[in-house]
Amino acid sequence: MSYVEVPGAQVPIRMWTDPAGVEDVAMQQLRNVATLPWIKGLAVMPDVHYGKGATVGSVIAMRGAVCPAAVGVDIGCGMSAVKTSLTANDLPGDLSRFRSKIEQAIPVGRGMHDAPVDLGRLHGFPTAGWEDFWARFGGVAEAVRFRQERATKQMGSLGSGNHFIEFCLDDDGAVWLMLHSGSRNIGKELAEFHMGQAQKLPHNQGLVDRDLAVFIADTPQMAAYRNDLFWAQEYAKYNRAVMMALFQDVVRKEFKKARPVFEPVISCHHNYVAEERYEGMDLLVTRKGAIRAGSGEFGIIPGSMGTGSYIVKGLGNAASFQSASHGAGRKMSRNAAKKRFSTRDLMEQTRGVECRKDSGVIDEIPGAYKPIEKVMEQQRDLVEVVAHLKQVVCVKG
C-alpha cells in the first residue's frame, strides 16, 4: 500500500497502515507529536503501537529540536545479520547444545562479562577508533560517569525484553546469524537523565504531554544531549559488533568441520536520531522503532521468536523520510500477553525452534505480535525483500 494521510494535523501524518486499526492511545500520541512547534513531518510505520511519549513505529522529523523521549531509553537499539556458507545440511538434529554454547559466550538478561571482552581474541574484529570511543566517555553527563566499569563489562551482552540472538535458515537453506540489542544500561541511564533535564526547561512547560519535552538548537542542553546521544548510538553499534564476533566464534568452533565463511555484516539502528536533509531543510530525524531505508541500503525487519524475519533493501521513499518498519510490532502489552497465553501456547507457537519455552518469555510469544507478513505487505513502496529467514535457534534475554 501507499500511505494514508491523517486529516486535521498541523503537519502531514503519513501512515503506512489503516488508521482505524491503530489503538486510540497511539493515535492520540501521533496527534500530540504533530502539535510540536518544531515538527516538519511525521511518518507512521505499519508496526506502530503505543510507546512512552511517542509511538513505537514512527519517524519524527524536526527542525532545530529533538525529543529524548521520542528516541526512547534504549538509544541505538537495532539489528545485525550475516549470511554464512553453512547450509541446513550442516546442522545436527539436536541444536540444544549449540544454544547453550551461545548463552555461555554472550551474557543475557542483566548479565555482563566478568571482564571487558578482549578484542584481540575476536577473529578479525576491527579495533580502529576503539580507544578514542572510550576516551570520549569522559565527556558524557557527569551523573552517569561512575557507570563506566559496568558499561565496559556489558559491551558484548544481549540484555532482556525483546532482544534476541538467532540462528536462521533462508528459503534456499543458507544459514544466517542475526541479533537484536542496543546500548544496554548505559544508554538507558543517559536517556533517563536527559529526559529529566528536558522536562525542566521553560519552553517545555506548555506541552500537551510532558514526555514530549525537547531540546532546541544552539543551547548548552542540546549540545550535551547530542554528545551523549551520538556516543550511546555508537556504543550500541559496537555492542552488536562484539556480540556478532562472539557468535561467529561459537559457530566456527561448533561447525569446525564445515569451515564456515561469513559475508559482510548488515547492521542498522531502529531507535536513533540522524541529521538528514529533506526539501532543502536540515532536519533531525528520530526513528523510534523504524529503520532507515535509503535507496539500495540494506536493512533488517524481524518478526517474533516463532515466525520469520526479512533482509531488505530500501527504496528511498522520501514521503517516509526514507524509512521502514523495524519489525512486526506488538499488538498487545506484555502484561496482556502473560494473562492470555500459557506455556503450552508458547510451546505450540515456537514448535521447531530451539529456544526457551518457560513462563519467563510468555510476554514474547508470537501471538503478542502483529503478523510480520501483513507488515511487509503494507510497506511494499518502502523496501524490497532480499531474503526471508526462519529461525531454528532463538536465544532470548
Q: Is there a binding annotation on residue 146?
A: no
Task: Give, as one character, the DSSP assignment of residue 262.
Answer: B
Q: Catalytic: 326? A: yes
Q: Is there a binding annotation on residue 194?
A: no
Q: Is there a binding annotation on residue 74?
A: yes
Q: Is there a binding annotation on residue 163?
A: yes
Cβ atoms 376, 310 nearer than 8 A: yes
Instruction: Identify the CA nearest to 226 among candidates 215, 235, 236, 237.
Output: 215
Q: Is there a binding annotation on residue 49?
A: no
Q: Is there a binding annotation on residue 309?
A: yes
Pairing of strands 39-49, 56-62: antiparallel
Q: Is there a binding annotation on residue 203?
A: no
Q: Is there a binding annotation on residue 166?
A: yes
Cβ atoms 271, 292 nearer than 8 A: no
Q: Is there a binding annotation on residue 79?
A: no
Count of other CB atoms within 10 angstroms of residue 123: 10
3-state secondary structure of 371: coil
Spatial separation of the C-alpha atoms in residues 198 and 236, rounded to whole Å = 23
Q: Is there a binding annotation on residue 302?
A: yes
Query: How would you class 278 by CB atoms within 10 Å of its CB: exposed for 0-12, middle for 13-18, buried for 19 or more?
Result: middle
Cβ atoms 6, 15 nearer than 8 A: yes
The catalytic position among 49, 269, 326, 388 is 326
Q: Which grid coordinates belong to 214? A: 525537547
Q: Is there a binding annotation on residue 327?
A: yes
Could you list the residues known to form a binding site for GMP, using ranges.
Answer: 162-166, 270-271, 302-305, 309, 326-329, 396
State the catalytic residues.
326
**Binding residue numbers:** 74, 162-166, 180, 270-271, 302-305, 309, 326-329, 396
Q: Which residues are annotated as a binding site for Mn(2+)?
A: 74, 163, 180, 270
